[in-house]
A and B are shown apart, each in its own frame.
Chain A
Amino acid sequence: MEQPFPPTAGAPAAPGADGVPHDEVLARVGQMTRMLHDNLRGLGFDKLLAKAAHDIPDARDRLDYVAKMTEQAAQRVLNATETATPQQERIESGASHIASRWQAMLAMSCTGSQCRALAEQTIAYLETTRADAGATRQQLFDIMMAQDFQDLTGQVIRRVTELAHGIEQQLVQLLVDYAPPEIRRDSTPGLLNGPQINPNGNADVVSNQGQVDDLLESLGF
């Protein structure tokens, strides 16, 4: 590899105008940098850097996956609460309405003891129904409000993703500046890769159960 640093051995220690030996300082810094560089390479840190730079996009994709999945989950919850809330409202107001009609019936034309008992039982049931529907609606409201986590976690994930992107760019630049050209990515994928965060565009990955079944069938299973 070519020398990124100027030769430092035997640099003259000429003092600057203010008496500080600039050349000596520069020479020392140069030596230290060269030593650090050689040591890093000797220890295989250049490979570690390359691995880190390679791993960051993967980490970013995983965070994007978390953001996407939590958003989908929050949307599903909101879909459900928005559907169920008016249903509960209907039950609540229907029970209230029919209860009052039974009450009127009880006061006017329901004279037999059997009729009275049934009317009272029905009114009591409708009262409970009305109260339960109202309470359920309140719970649905709380469930809806709890989905605000998605906005907050989403913002945090976005921040971390941007930060990772910045570090990645700096690492890549560091590698471009200092790594020997023969460096090659060590890619030996294993079997424990976890959920696939971006199955589309990767021919090695299935994106749905149909593809799993097709693959197994093509192999004779």
Chain B
Amino acid sequence: MAGPNTKFLVVDDFSTMRRIVRNLLKELGYTNVDEAEDGAMALSKRRSEQFDFVISDWNMPVMDGLTMLQQIRADAALSKMPVLMVTAEAKKENIIAAAQAGANGYVVKPFTAATLDEKLSKIFEKLEKVGA
């Protein structure tokens, strides 16, 4: 499923971080990227647009990334959507909570391009195995 047409949704309340992730994805060959400022905006975007992959921050106003993830997993139409958390929350309990909520991966800020690349490849690899 991974390819130049894979559509990403980047969710972060800091526009600087959204731009950085967008540029990173471009460098990795993914140019189809949309952005949302918080979980609620991401879910409402999802109602009108189709996305293949969500990269989300945790700590955001209105709706945080974990709540958004839980809502995605609870929604039959979205439950299979891959979600990668990219967050400054670095406590073990956070990582466990995200995993239990069904996150496909967890990257702690600050992160490098190589880390993001590696996590994305791993997630795509797993999805292909499941799909095969």
Which of B29-37, B73-81, B97-105, B106-114 binds A? B106-114
A160 to B112, CA, bound (A): 27
Knowing A78-B20, A82-B23, A141-B113 touch, does A154 contact B14 (C-beta < 8 A)?
A: yes
A150 interface neighbour in B16, B23, B24, B27, Cβ under 8 Å:
B16
- Within A75-99, the residues touching B (CB, 8 Å) are 75, 78, 81-82
In the complex, A78→B110 CA distance in Å?
17
With both chains docked as a complex, state the minimum distance between the C-beta of A137 and any C-beta of chain B, in angstroms: 10
- Which residues of A have CB within 8 Å of B38? none
**Is B113 within 8 A of A148, CB to CB?**
no
Number of interface residues of A (CB under 8 A): 17
Establish whether residues B20 and A144, one from each chain, have CB atoms under 8 Å apart when the complex forms. yes
> Which partner residue on chain B sits nearest A150 by CB separation?
B16
Asked if B16 and A152 make an inter-chain contact with CB atoms under 8 angstroms apart, the answer reads: no
A148 touching B59, Cβ below 8 Å:
no
Whether A151 pairs with B17 at a CB distance below 8 angstroms is yes
Closest chain B residue to A144, Cβ basis: B23
A152 touches B110 (CB 8 A): yes
Query: Is A9 close to B, CB under 8 A?
Result: no
Residues of A within 8 A of B111 (CB): 148
How many of chain B's residues touch chain A, expressed as a range?
Answer: 10 to 19
Is A123 part of the binding interface, using a Cβ–Cβ cutoff of 8 Å?
no
Q: Shortest distance in angstroms between B35's beta carbon and chain A's nearest beta carbon?
A: 13
State the CA gap A194–B113 with chains docked (Å): 39
Q: How far is the CA of A149 from the CA of B24 in the complex (A)?
A: 16
Within the complex, which residue of B16, B27, B88, B109 is in contact with A78, where a contact is CB–CB below 8 Å?
B16
B23/A151 in contact, CB under 8 A: no
Q: A155: CB under 8 A from chain B?
A: yes
| A122 interface contact, C-beta 8 A | no
Confirm or deny: B15 has a beta carbon within 8 angstroms of a beta carbon on chain A.
Answer: yes
Q: Which residue of A lies closest to B23 (CB)?
A: A144
| Nearest-neighbor residue (CB-CB) of A85 within chain B | B23
The answer to whether A151 and B19 have CB atoms under 8 Å apart is: no
When C-beta atoms are compared, the residue in chain A nearest to B12 turns out to be A151
In the assembled complex, how far is the CB of residue A76 from the closest CB belonging to chain B, in whole angstroms? Answer: 11
B113 CB contacts on chain A under 8 angstroms: 141, 145
Whole-angstrom CA separation of A82 from B26 in the bound complex: 11
Segment 62-97 of B: residues with Cβ below 8 Å from A: 88
Q: Which residues of A contact B112 (CB under 8 A)?
A: 145
Give the A-binding residues of B (Cβ under 8 A).
Answer: 12, 14-17, 19-20, 23-24, 27, 59, 88, 109-113
18 contacts between A and B (CB under 8 A): A71-B16, A74-B16, A75-B15, A78-B16, A78-B20, A82-B23, A141-B23, A145-B20, A147-B16, A148-B17, A149-B110, A150-B16, A150-B17, A151-B12, A151-B17, A152-B109, A155-B14, A155-B59
